[in-house]
Structure 1
Amino acid sequence: MNKLNTCCFTGHRKLPKEKIEHIIKRLNHEIDNLISKGVTNFISGGSFGFEQVAASLIIAKKEMGRGVRLIFAKQDKLWSAEQRELYNNLLAEADEIIYVLEEYHNGCMKKRNRYIVDCSAYCICALLHTLSGTDRTVRYARRKGLHVINVAD
């Protein structure tokens, strides 16, 4: 996977209802913009909310023949059976699944988030709240020099 043509997604699990339509429209626009610049790899951690919306859009782009790949950094250890079923449906569409860590433990989500940032040149986020996992990931992406696009603005 070439870092220069890779974008990661990070965002909150719960998005305000009044902002969802704006976020999805902007996300779709920014994905198309990156594809036009040669970005072909899109990495999602697969968390509920924004990351699964983003993964679903990449699946739709793949089905339209846009020449993109969906990569998941797998993480479903503590989810319910219903949550895993939805997640596994998305995983079935992935071009690649990466296991950052074999075992779940405190801090493993931070390692997963750092991994997807370290593999990317771009980061599309839905950042609405500071002092959150999304905020920490976005700050790390900026420190690493990624081009960060906040579709929740």
Structure 2
Amino acid sequence: MNDNKKKTLAFSGHRMNRIRIGKEELSALIQAAIIHFYLQGYRIFLSGMAEGLDMLAAEEVLKAKEYYPDIKLHCIIPFKGQANRMGTEDKARYESILSGADNEICLSEKYYEGCFLRRNDYLVENSSQVVAYYDNVPQGGTHYTVRNAHKRGIEVFNLFGRELEYHHFYQDELLMGWGRSLFNVRAVSYEQAVESIRLLGFRDVYELDEHPLVAYDSFEYLLETNTPVSPEGNKGQATIEYLKCDSLKTAVFSNADTRIAEESQNTIRELACLLSEKKLADELDMLPSGLRDKNNPGKYAEAYQEKYDGYLKNYMELLSKL
């Protein structure tokens, strides 16, 4: 298998009147599949440019090119003048797709009986992965393509009956104290879910409540940022934390890397505590032990707590910027 074929994926699917889900949901599935397979090394995406899934997939590839410039869309046209058989709206979409495509391969100068099947053969022969919407009814061009792919040992990723799964993540925020939001990403795989977060720019989840991939559903206040992030309910996958504070504003850490972030934040906090206590002691001309609550030596007396908290906040902000 040549290198181009190893990284080439072909789309195949029914017309919209045979597809059982709405266009918006189908678009989300296709986009998720594109990201999923891009992460596996696929860079060239083939569309047979038929009405229905083919053109919708081509449009989603062009959208993906906005954040993956190395993606290539190749339009495989069965015969010259294919669009002349389409309605006005689909013909306009067809021409728009061709204008944004990286390559246009026309297999015949004119229509002939069987040209669509030859187009389908080309898709399978020149790819190592097929993404299809196939309803398992043994008739039509998609059935022919899927059967051909299986005969050649090419994997078929079928969108029919497939739903985007929810993967759970956390966003930690440094406010007056730490808060944590739980949010969900609908994706075909955990890896694609993580990539979707990266592509959204790691913006605050509260800005993304209307985005089709992300929705938050809870918030809790934390005493510290080292509260465990559990993979429970996430099919055993480790979650990631998005830590938001002055020094970690755009950083995303996996569970393994969170320890590094926590150690850094704990070091900053320890130093800020020492500086705050010294400043408070110098200002009041008291020994640090004299600032403590007699009934609870681990805490500052109520009279000093507010002042100490103010110093601590200022030192945390200053040290986080270093």
TM-score (norm 2): 0.45
Specify the alignment match of 2:95 in structure 1: 88
Question: CA, structure 1 residues 16+104, in 2 after alignment: closer, same or farther (shift >3 Å)?
Answer: closer
Separation in structure 2 between the aligned mates of residue 37 and residue 134 of structure 1, nearest angstrom: 24
Of 8, 11, 14, 2:13 maps to 11
Of 79, 83, 86, 2:85 maps to 79
* Unmatched segments (≥5 aa) in structure 2: 162-322
Specify the alignment match of 2:158 in structure 1: 150
Specify the alignment match of 1:136 in structure 2: 144
* Unmatched segments (≥5 aa) in structure 1: none
Separation in structure 1 between the aligned mates of residue 160 and residue 4 of structure 2, nearest angstrom: 27
Separation in structure 1 between the aligned mates of residue 108 and residue 131 of structure 2, nearest angstrom: 23
Q: Secondary structure at the match of 1:106?
A: coil
Specify the alignment match of 2:134 in structure 1: 127
Question: CA, structure 1 residues 41+17, in 2 after alignment: closer, same or farther (shift >3 Å)?
Answer: closer
Report how far residue 5 of structure 1 moved: 0.1
Report how far residue 16 of structure 1 moved: 5.4
The question of whether the paired residues in 2 share the 8 Å contact of 1:127 and 1:135 is answered with: yes
Specify the alignment match of 1:111 in structure 2: 118
Separation in structure 1 between the aligned mates of residue 126 and residue 19 of structure 2, nearest angstrom: 31
Question: CA, structure 1 residues 19+141, in 2 after alignment: closer, same or farther (shift >3 Å)?
Answer: same
More strand by share: 2
Name the count of aligned residue pairs: 153
Q: Is 1:60 matched up with 2:67?
A: no
Quick check: which has more Rg, 1 or 2?
Answer: 2
Report how far residue 32 of structure 1 moved: 0.7
The question of whether the paired residues in 2 share the 8 Å contact of 1:23 and 1:152 is answered with: no
Higher alpha-carbon deviation: 56-65 or 107-116: 56-65
The question of whether the paired residues in 2 share the 8 Å contact of 1:23 and 1:126 is answered with: no
Greater RCO between the two (CA within 8 Å, min separation 6)? 1
Higher alpha-carbon deviation: 70-79 or 130-139: 70-79
Note the aligned Cα RMSD (angstroms): 1.9
Percent of residue pairs bearing the same amino acid type: 27
Separation in structure 2 between the aligned mates of residue 77 and residue 60 of structure 1, nearest angstrom: 22
Specify the alignment match of 1:98 in structure 2: 105
> Which amino acid counterpart does residue 140 of structure 1 have in structure 2?
N
Question: CA, structure 1 residues 4+131, in 2 after alignment: closer, same or farther (shift >3 Å)?
Answer: same
Question: CA, structure 1 residues 15+25, in 2 after alignment: closer, same or farther (shift >3 Å)?
Answer: farther
TM-score (norm 1): 0.91
The question of whether the paired residues in 2 share the 8 Å contact of 1:15 and 1:50 is answered with: no
Separation in structure 1 between the aligned mates of residue 20 and residue 123 of structure 2, nearest angstrom: 29
Separation in structure 1 between the aligned mates of residue 144 and residue 5 of structure 2, nearest angstrom: 21
The question of whether the paired residues in 2 share the 8 Å contact of 1:126 and 1:150 is answered with: yes
The question of whether the paired residues in 2 share the 8 Å contact of 1:45 and 1:72 is answered with: yes
1:31-66: CA deviation from partner (whole Å, max 9, x where unpaired): 111100110000000111111110011000112234
Higher alpha-carbon deviation: 126-135 or 39-48: 126-135
Separation in structure 1 between the aligned mates of residue 73 and residue 12 of structure 2, nearest angstrom: 14
Report how far residue 103 of structure 1 moved: 1.8
Report how far residue 77 of structure 1 moved: 5.6
